[in-house]
Structure formats: C-alpha cells, structure tokens
Structure 1
Amino acid sequence: MIDPRILREDPDRVRASQAKRGLSGDPVDRALSADEARRQTIMAFEARRAEQKSMGKQVAQAKGEEKAALLAQTKALAAEVKTLEAAQDAAEAEWTAALKGIPNVTAEETPAGGEDDFVVLETVREPRDFAAEGFEPRDHIELGRMLGAIDLDRGAKVSGSRFYFLTGVGAELELALVNLAMEQAREVGFTQVIAPSLVRPQAMEGTGFLDQAADDVYRIDGEDLYLVGTSEVPMAAYHSDEILDADTLPRRYAAFSPCFRKEAGSHGKDTRGIIRVHWFDKVEMFVYTTVEESYAEHQRLLEWEKLFLDKLELAYRVIDVAAGDLGPSAIRKFDCEAWIPTQGKYRELTSTSNCTDFQARRLDIRGRFPDGTKQVATLNGTLCAMTRTIVAILETHQQADGSVRVPQALQRFLGREVLEPVAK
C-alpha cells in the first residue's frame, strides 16, 4: 500500500495519480476521512485510558465510602474504555482497508490513459520482409505441427481449451530458453530460484493480485492456496516479515515456475495457438533494493530484458505503459513487444515494473539502515515467458520449406542450427 505520509501531506498528488489511471478520486477522500476518524478514536481511547489509570491510583489510596464510589466509577469507566478500544480497532481496520484501496502513486513520467495510450520508447530491428523473400509466412500453429513441436489437439483433449503439449523440438526449445535465461541471469549476479506455484492468500494479497486480477486467479477448492500467475508472487513474499541488512541490497533473484491464469475477460481473443494460454512456464527477475535506487534498477531490468531478446534476434519495440494499464502495485512499467509476422503487430513478450515500497508495506519487508529501519522497494521483470517467446522465434526465423533457423545463442543448447520438419 502507499506511504500514508504521501496521502496526508500531498493528497492532490494521489488524486492526480488516480486521474492518470482513469480512476475516481473518491478513495482518496475516503481514506483521509478514515484517517481523521482513526485519530479521533485514538485520542478518545487514550484520554479515557489515562483517566482509568489515574483513578486506579486513587482507588488504591481511598477508604470506606469514597473507595466504594470510586470503584463504581472505575467499573463504568472500564466499560467505556472497552467500548472505545473496540471503536479504535474498527477505525484502524477501516483506515487500513481504505489505504489498501488506493493503488501506488504513478511516476511522473508514466503516460496518462488506458491500454492504447502507451508511448513507444524504442524500436529495435525492422520486421522481416517475407514478401521480398518470396514466400508467405506460416503461423506458429502450422509450424508447430510441421516440426512436431506443438500438439494443440491433444492438449485440448487432455486438459481443455488453451492447453497444449510441447513435444520434440518444442520441448527442447523451451529447455534451451530456460537455460539461456538462467545463464544470463547468473552472469549478471542473480541468484537462481525454483519457486513454488502455490501460495497462501497473504502472498497473493500482499502483491496486489487479489486487487488487480482476482477473476484471473485460480484458487484451490478446499485449500487456503492459490495458483500463481507469475513467480513475482512467491518471490515478493520470500522475505515477508523480515528485516534485511542494508549491505545485502540489492538482492536479485531469477525464479523459474509454472504460471496459471484463467484468462478471464479474454473470450474470443487469441483462441488459437499458444499466445494466450492457461498455463505456461516463465523465468522472472525479482529485486529487493532501496526506494532511491529502484529507479535506476528498473532501467537495468529493462536492459537485461532487451539483451535477452537481442540474443534471440527478434524485432521488438519498448513501450512505456500508460497508467490505466498498470497493476495497482506499479508506479511505472516497460513492456518489450516482439513482432509476430502472421499477426502483423507487436505482442508483449516481457515487462518490468517498479513497485517501490508498495508491496513491501503490505508484506512487511524492511531494511536496516544507519538511520533506522524502513520499507525496501521491490521490482519485477520477465526474462522469458516461454510460450510467447517460442511463437516469436518460430514465426520470425522460419524458412520457406517450414524449417526454422535457430538463433545462434540457442544453438549450443539445441545442438543444431536448424529445426527441420518431421516426416508425417
């Protein structure tokens, strides 16, 4: 949740952030009112509690009828104190709920507006001109069949729509991508992690996903557990309720996990292929650092994502995502979108978000600094989401006969330079 000091000292800044996201300013007013009510109940409780303590001392010194009278007053006062304490607890809960209802305050640089109001920051490589090469590109579904790499029919038979099998070179390609991503992460100082895909509600709520995408989250019936849509969730909760030494920051992790999403609200979108699926594997970068350093770290995460896409020899662009398309935890987000030839457009492959201290406040993650303890900042960045990356590789590097050239960086993991169609 946001820093209460920002709300109290500069509420107009919070209202402006709400407006950039396309949200009402009412939650800001509600939180301010809840804060004032909370303060009033605290003052009333503490005043009566102090009176109760003072009267206790008087009772100890009194005798006879005076003591009996004071005891009667004490009993009535104790009941009032109990009532005021309950009111204080209720006001505290109302204040916390109101504060949690406000998303993070967006960065000044974040564009205002919704999904279509992003700003293109950079375009890397021109999309391949298949017409100049004299053939019509095949989509990843046809290429997947020809290569024996993707089995959608049996995925649907076994698990339902938006499921798939990666087979043969498809499975090899995913493992090659995992190895390349983890190798790059290790080389720049990330600790490799295999993260759980099931988490408790505190982890999901603490990262903002029950606010942002509750309808898109799988919950296990009969269990107090959720399936994660990204390993950002377990990695954010990894250091929950801990105080980290300042000299151990930044802490950088590269986590592999399966990811699960209902894809609620995507009816009719990307119903074919493996662009939008209910399950996929991903390598996610996650960082704990100071709020002051988080802005530079955000740029580093973006550069590492770009480096990975460069190794895959893909055409892509970098966009500054508009405020209305941010999750509640993020103040700013960059997406890298790869060109998908048969769709004739760019599609998101990676994203990186700076969440400053928003998640750390919810999860109680602090740092121990020379001037005391305070919340740290958290950042996340996708290094490789497997299915969409496989789509981009197959369609971008295909050849006229249905074979696919393997990017040089992946050749040593796959042991070949070309993926050849299999005999039918």
Structure 2
Amino acid sequence: MLDIHFIRNHPDKVQKAAEDKGIDISIEELLDLDRKRRQYIVEIEELRAERNKKSKLTPTLQGEEREANIQSVKQLNERLKSLESELERVKQQFDEMMLVVPAVPFDDVPVGKDDSENVELYTWGTLPVFDFTPRDHVTLGEMHDMFDIPRGVKIAGSRMFFLKNDAVLLQRAIQQMALDFIMDKGYEVFSVPVLVREDAMRGTGYLPLGREQAYVLERDELFLVGTSEVALVSYHADEILDGSELPKRMAGISDCFRREVGAAGKDTRGLYRVHQFQKIEQVALVKNDIEESNRFHKELLENAETILRMLELPYRVVEVCTGDMGQGQVKKHDIETWMPSRESYSETHSCSSFLDFQARRSNIRYRDENGNIQYVYTLNNTLVATPRLLIPLLEVHQQEDGSIRIPEALRKYMGGREKLIPKYPEQK
C-alpha cells in the first residue's frame, strides 16, 4: 500500500506504474474519492460540534425556544446519519481501491509487457554438452523409480505427483544443505503455518489481486499459502519493533500451494508447474533506508546464487521488467537455471524489494534512534524450491548410463554417495 500523500503528490507517476504493471485502476477516480472522503470528514466533524453545542444549550432554554433547539438537534442528527452513511460508502470504495494501487518501480527497472522483455544481466557456469541423447527428468525419474505422476493425478488431479525413494532423499538433502548454509549466515529459521487468515494474505499483497491463484478454505475462512513469505512477513504484523532489532533475517520452510490459474496447457509434462511444492524462502525486514534495502537485495540474491553454485548448476540472472513484476515490487531479479529438456534457462528464484508496501498493509513499524515511528522495508527471495529444482539437478548431472552424479557439496547429505544408480537401466 502506498502513502496517500505520495499518491496525491505524484498521481501521474502512480498511474504510469499501474499501466506498466498491467493493473486496471484510475488514480484520478481514487483521488476523487479521497477528496470526497476528506470533505465528508470535515463536514461531519463540524456538524457534530454544532450538535454537541446545541445539546448542551437545551437544558438552559424554555418554551418554544427549547423546542426549536431540540428540533434543530434532531435535524442535525438526521443529517449526520446521512453523511456518516455516505462517508462509510465512500471510505469502503476508497479502501478497496487503495489495495489495488501498485508500488512504483525504481527508475532503472526496464519497461516491458511480460517476461519475454526481461533483461539478462549475467550468466554463471558452463552449459552441459552431452555425447548421448539426454533424457528429461520424467524419464530419469521413471528409471530411478523416483516419481509417480500418474498416481498423483489419480488421487489429487492434474499437476500433482508422488516423490519416491531417492527423490525424497534429494529433496531433503537440498533443503538441509540450504538450511545449514542460511543458518551459518545468521538467519533465523522457521517452520511456518501454511493456513493463514485473510489479513495475512492481504497484508503481504497476495490479495485482492491474487485471489484466483490461492486455495481458499471458505468454511474456515483460511487460505493455503503460496510461499512462507506470507507467514514470515505477517509474524510482526501490527507490531512496533525497536530499531536495534533491525535488520531481521529470516528463512521459512513450508509446503506451498498455487492454483496455477491461466496455466492451462502450459508445462503439463513433469514437475515444472505443479500445485503443491516445498520451498525455503528468505525474508528480510530492514530500516526504511533505500541503500540498506539495496544491500539486502544483493545479499538475498547472492545467497540463492551460492546454493546453485554448490549444486553446480548453470544459471543466469535477469532484471525483471514492469509487466512481469507483482503489484508491490519496486525491484525484482529472477534467477533462471538451465534445464536441458526445456533447452532454456527457466525460473527457479525470484528476488524482490518492496520498500514499505507490505509494511504499510501489515502495519509493521519500528522506533528509530530519535524515537520516531517508521515503517520497515521488506524483501524476499527463494532459497530453494522443490521439486522444480530437481529438474536441472537430474538433467544437468545425468550420465549416459542413466546414472546421476551427485554434486560434491550435496554428498554428505546423501550418505556419502557420489551418484545415483537407476533401478531400471532401460525406461519402463
């Protein structure tokens, strides 16, 4: 959520941000509601003052003068009731629109319509060159008896799956390696609730615009989270922190759930786009200083890059354009890891800066060194997400005989094994 004073002073900039992000909102209409809201508030306060003054005068009056004063108070009450009703209607419209207003991207963010216009910044690693026909992760999973997608679909519908045997061990190994790494960096680690109230979803910016992507338990008025960011940011909702507590470095592990609305027919083979997955998410709460926020954006990005380097996976970092950004993001980088079966780099991590957008919605503040109350700035980035990360891990490290080389950094989490041997040397 933006400060209404900022919107009043920069309406054209906010309107352009909405258009660049593909968000349908009229800032002119919002400001018209803002003017009406303020006008009603002033008028109501003036009428209340007049009514109270006349009410106090009533006991001092007699006869017709007293009756006339009583009638005047009744008329003021009727007028107040009408204005208060109108204020409530306008305020509701205003509040609803404020929840749709986007954060304004930094000036250096490229303007573009979608992810095809993201800008590559740099790459790391050498793309694998196979002297045999490489298999995709689904075929490798079948050879190793690691996945069962048909039975996942049978019991839970499309885009669902079972991980089995070594896939489970690989997933847990990646997560433990990532947890050990991030704890060594001084991050607090959390296992978070995956069922949250609407306030938490709204506060982090996943509602109202992201409602179609969320699973809702209507009977209990709860939402399944698509990332532990929701719980981690909301952890300090409606609190005033001491400035000495900042920065806060947090990492949350959880199951995550996304409906993938709009993805019909896309990425239907394998584990790239699924409804349920596991993720470790990094979240930082920092003082409202842009330079500090930028330092943490770089830190969160470097943490994720280090994990990919430990897994010996080639990747690239892209600057995300306006049309591929979320409502609250002001700066965003994606890390895309090489996936041989897709013959492309594909997204595995998203690093985002929000400034005070989430903090205003979640009411997270701190007391600075001068005793003043300020909103924190928030940032987040994926650390690891599975099963998607299993795709490049299996495909990049596959050998001609179907075995899969385990990266050195991961071996101690896999009982010292150096490679995985297929259970079925030939595809079933």
Match in the other structure for 1:231:
228
Give me the whole-angstrom Cα distance separating, in 2, the residues matched to 1:23 and 1:70: 52
Which AA in structure 2 matches 1:208? G
How far apart are the structure 2 equivalents of 1:81 and 1:19? 39
**1:135 positional shift:** 0.9
Query: Is residue 153 of structure 1 aligned with residue 154 of structure 2?
Result: no
State how 1:64-79 maps to structure 2 within 5 Å.
64-79=63-78
Q: 2:243: which partner in 1?
A: 246
Indicate whether 1:174 and 2:175 are aligned: no
Residue 423 (structure 1) shift: 4.6
State the match for 2:323 in structure 1.
324
| Superposition pairs of residues 173-252 of structure 1, within 5 angstroms | 173-252=170-249
* Letter of the 2:40 counterpart: T
Q: CA deviation at 1:371?
A: 4.6
Following superposition, the deviation at residue 157 of structure 1 comes to 2.5
CA contact (8 A) 1:323 1:332 kept: no
8 A contact 2:14–2:102 mirrored in 1: no
2:132: which partner in 1?
Answer: 135
Contact kept? 2:99, 2:208, Cα under 8 Å: no
Matches of 2:7 and 2:144 in 1, distance apart? Answer: 56
Structure 1 partner of 2:109 = 110
What's 2:354 paired with? 355
CA contact (8 A) 2:106 2:331 kept: yes
Distance 2:22 2:134 in 1: 39
1:53 — aligned with what?
A: 52
Residues paired across the two proteins, number: 420
Query: Quick check: 1:255 aligned with 2:252?
Result: yes
Which residue does the alignment assign to 1:398?
398
Whether contact under 8 Å (1:334, 1:352) holds in the other structure is: yes
* Counterpart in the other structure of 1:272: 269
What displacement does 1:324 show? 1.0
Matched, 1:344 2:360: no
Q: CA RMSD in A?
A: 1.6
Identical-pair percentage: 39
Q: How far is the alpha carbon of 1:221 from its aligned partner? A: 4.1
SS, match of residue 295 in structure 2 = helix
TM-score by length of 2: 0.94
User: In 2, distance between residues paired with 1:66 and 1:158?
Assistant: 80
* Residues 80-102 of structure 1, C-alpha deviations (whole Å, 9 max, x = no match): 12222222222222221221121
Query: Contact conserved, 1:104 with 1:358, CA < 8 A, in 2?
Result: yes
Deviations 1:103-148 (A, max 9, x none): 1111112111122111111111121111xxx211110011111122
Distance, in Å, in 2 between the alignment partners of 1:51 and 1:161 is: 65
Change (3 A) 1:177 1:358: same
* In 2, Cα distance between equivalents of 1:245 and 1:72: 53
Equivalent residue of 1:177, what SS?
helix
CA contact (8 A) 1:30 1:98 kept: no
Structure 2: which 5+ runs fail to align? none
Deviation at 1:290, TM superposition (A): 2.0
1:176-216 superposed Cα distances (whole Å, 9 cap, x missing partner): 01101111111111111001111111112222223343222
Q: Secondary structure at the match of 2:208?
A: helix
Contact 1:41–1:91 under 8 Å retained in 2: no
CA distance in 2, matches of 1:306, 1:60: 77
1:288 aligned to 2:289? Answer: no
Q: What CA distance in whole angstroms lies between the structure 2 residues aligned with 1:326 and 1:203?
A: 20
How far apart are 1:159 and its partner, in Å? Answer: 2.0
Distance (Å, rounded) in 2 between the aligned partners of 1:264 and 1:12: 31
| Mapped partners of 2:21, 2:97: distance in 1 | 18
Native 8 Å contact 1:27 1:101 kept in 2: no
Residue 16 to residue 371, structure 1, CA distance change in 2 (3 Å) = farther
CA contact (8 A) 2:256 2:277 kept: yes
CA deviation after TM superposition for structure 1 residue 64, in Å:
3.7
1:198 and 1:23 map into 2 onto residues whose CA distance is 27
Contact 2:256 2:276 in 1 (8 A): yes
Match of residue 412 from structure 1: 412
